[in-house]
Structure 1
Amino acid sequence: MSDIIRLLPDNVANQIAAGEVIQRPASAVKELLENAIDAQATQIKLFLKDAGRTLVQVVDNGTGMSPTDARLAFERHATSKIRTADDLFSLHTKGFRGEALASIAAIAQVELITSEEGQEIGTAITIEGNKIIDQYPIVTNK
């Protein structure tokens, strides 16, 4: 009998894993709103087009991210919440696993615009299929 088990290509494996976290547009909305809350946002705006099938946009006044953190946020298992296994028992945030943004980026085209608190120049990132297509500085409203 010949061997039949094969490793999946990364893009296929990422889409399967993403389906465990992001099952429908409402799942993406939930994760993005929780990210805004965890970033201490006091104002959050949600824009949807076609019930979230063609656009889900969250605009908030949270703490924002550095250019490096903005890039890392889309990597699987990348999180600011956990450093050791013990941290799992003392979490007080909505998100923590470092899966949501990576899962969204695996199945959607993503544009992130962020800036650190008090900074006028931020970072814009475009991601498709978990691959960073572009990253550049951008003027923001903070």
Structure 2
Amino acid sequence: MAIKVLSDQLASQIAAGEVVERPFSVVKELLENSLDAGATTINVDIRDGGRTLIQVADNGGGISENEIETAFLRHATSKLSSSRDLEAIITLGFRGEALAAIAAVSQVMIVSRAAGEKAGTRLTLAGGKKTSRDAVGAPQGTVIAVENLFYNVPARLKFLKSDNSEKRLIDDFVTRYALAYPAVRLRLTHNGRITFQTSGN
């Protein structure tokens, strides 16, 4: 069999499998991004165990309009600039792989406004490719909606458990992080019903 160089799209889908195994993986990466952004309020909304929708909204620092597309490139991160920085990592995320991996296997819509900007930016992607971008009114912070996870790699769907099982994994994760970050107000909603929330400090 001949050796071939994979297309960028296929390589991205394969790489995504190392980061995004199931809906829980998406919630973990997005929630950790929110915490790294200094959010004090984080709302997580999921539908059908996260298969059809995972949305995370926060009041963190936001992403500037000139960096929002860069955030979805592989190995794009604000946490590292040299190998020396690896010795002093204090953030939850630093590899610069999560958003690119998530976008490669889903349909993503993000709205973000950084401090000091007059308007927010809305960006949509499908399978890692930008489909639209415009300026919108938005409070400081970020809302990211991940829809139809694994829509373009349907074989991955066969490895998911029932909606309730996937939801329980997310429930357990959010509960653990609520205990670890008591000052952060966290809310989890599944199919329109609030299933967990904290008041923060």
- Unpaired runs of 5+ residues, structure 1, are none
Is the 1:46–1:57 Cα contact (8 Å) retained in structure 2?
yes
Secondary structure in 1 matching 2:69: helix
Question: Any conservation in 2 of the 1:120–1:141 contact (CA below 8 Å)?
Answer: no
Q: Is the contact made by 1:40 and 1:62 (CA closer than 8 Å) also made in structure 2?
A: yes
Q: TM-score, normalised by structure 1?
A: 0.95
Q: Is the 8 A contact 1:48 1:55 kept in 2?
A: yes
Structure having greater relative contact order (Cα 8 Å, sep ≥ 6): 2
Q: Which residue of 2 aligns with 1:81?
A: 79
Deviates more, 1:119-128 or 1:41-50: 119-128
C-alpha separation in 1, matches of 2:70 and 2:117? 20
Can you list the C-alpha shifts for 1:29-78, whole angstroms capped at 9, x where unaligned?
A: 00000000000000000000010000000000000011121111000000
Deviations 1:87-132 (A, max 9, x none): 0010100000000000000000000000012544110000111111
The count of corresponding residues between Structure 1 and Structure 2 is 140
Residues 1:92 and 2:87 aligned together = no
* Aligned pair partner of 2:65 in 58, 62, 67: 67
**TM superposition shift of 1:9:** 1.6
Percentage of pairs with the same residue: 49
Question: Within 2, Cα distance between the matches of 1:80 and 1:36?
Answer: 13
Selected match of 1:116 from 114, 117, 120: 114
Q: Does 1:57 align with 2:55?
A: yes
Specify the code of the residue in structure 2 equivalent to 1:135. R
2:87 and 2:60 map into 1 onto residues whose CA distance is 25
CA distance in 2 between partners of 1:78 and 1:101 (Å): 9
Give the one of 121, 124, 128 matched to 2:126: 128
Measure the CA separation in 1 of the matches of 2:126 and 2:88.
34
Structure 2 unpaired stretches of 5+: 141-201
Question: What do you get for the CA RMSD once the two structures are aligned?
Answer: 1.1
Question: What secondary structure sits across from 1:94 in the alignment?
Answer: coil
> Residue 105 of structure 2 corresponds to which residue in structure 1?
107
Alignment partners' CA distance in 2, 1:124 and 1:55: 17
